[in-house]
């Protein structure tokens, strides 16, 4: 499935270099978004490093984490040109502006809020709103969303992704979020998912950094195995 090219970031929070990785390039490298809910800023550098080493190129820090904007800023400074750093649980236009100033380039929401989508696109960021029904999916696309977050993913079977793909525009990539792990990641991609977003299978507060890296590497290996099958 061809990817829709999201606009390059042009906001004040991030100075794009000539070789900065785009969201689409990051997806092509590995279609896995690491969700770091509960991340402390003091951990951000070390966690970001092991995730990058494992092959992950997209990292999301939910805004209900401790001092999330600080973590986003630290990750953006350390990995910003080599990875796409963004925020999750973004619920207002002001939050979009805050993430932009921190250097985030991806705005992820659990819901479809036209105000959040509009502000995201105004600032040149990548919009990934949440949906659960076809009605919400089409509303998000009409509002300007770049891609769609199917949430909660642990409430659906992979065949649901296939059914949605049959009615959504070809460029409307679906990111399955929640309930994805080593055991089922290949099934979701086989059904037509563009990417998956994974939280607790990779990261939990207090989890040793080495284990985070190892679990991320296992997930990437499972995706590659499924891709080759």
* 5 has catalytic annotation: no
In angstroms, how far is the first alpha carbon of the chain from the final one?
A: 18
Q: Give the CB-side neighbour count of residue 228, counting CA atoms within 13 A.
A: 6
Count of beta carbons in the 10 Å neighbourhood of residue 93: 17
- Is 196 within 8 Å of 185 (Cβ atoms)? yes
CA nearest to 108, candidates 130, 123, 124: 130
- C-alpha to C-alpha distance for 84 and 82, rounded to whole angstroms: 7
* 142 has catalytic annotation: no
- Is 102 within 8 Å of 72 (Cβ atoms)? yes
User: Which of these is catalytic: 24, 119, 121, 149?
Assistant: 149
- C-alpha to C-alpha distance for 207 and 202, rounded to whole angstroms: 9
Residue 87 pairs with which residues in a beta bridge? 61, 107
User: Which of these is catalytic: 5, 40, 60, 210?
Assistant: 60
Query: Would you name the residues annotated as active-site residues?
Result: 60, 149
């Amino acid at each position: 499935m061809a990817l829709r090219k999201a606009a390059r970031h042009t906001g004040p929070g991030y100075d794009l270099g000539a070789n900065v990785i785009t969201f689409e390039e990051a997806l092509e490298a590995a279609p896995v978004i690491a969700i770091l809910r509960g991340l402390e800023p003091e951990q951000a550098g070390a966690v970001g490093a092991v995730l990058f080493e494992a092959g992950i190129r997209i990292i999301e820090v939910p805004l209900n984490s401790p001092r999330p904007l600080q973590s986003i800023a630290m990750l953006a400074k350390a990995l910003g040109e080599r990875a796409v750093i963004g925020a999750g649980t973004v619920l207002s236009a002001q939050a979009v502006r805050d993430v932009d100033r921190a250097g985030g380039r991806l705005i992820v929401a659990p819901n479809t809020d036209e105000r959040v989508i509009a502000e995201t696109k105004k600032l040149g960021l990548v919009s990934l709103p949440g949906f659960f029904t076809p009605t919400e999916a089409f509303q998000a696309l009409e509002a300007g969303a770049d891609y769609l977050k199917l949430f909660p993913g642990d409430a659906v079977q992979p065949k649901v992704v296939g059914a949605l793909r049959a009615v959504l525009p070809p460029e409307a990539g679906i990111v399955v979020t929640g309930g994805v792990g080593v055991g089922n990641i290949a099934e979701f991609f086989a059904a037509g998912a563009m990417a998956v977003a994974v939280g607790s299978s990779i990261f939990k507060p207090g989890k040793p950094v080495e284990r985070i890296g190892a679990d991320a590497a296992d997930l990437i290996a499972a995706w590659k195995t499924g891709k080759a099958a």
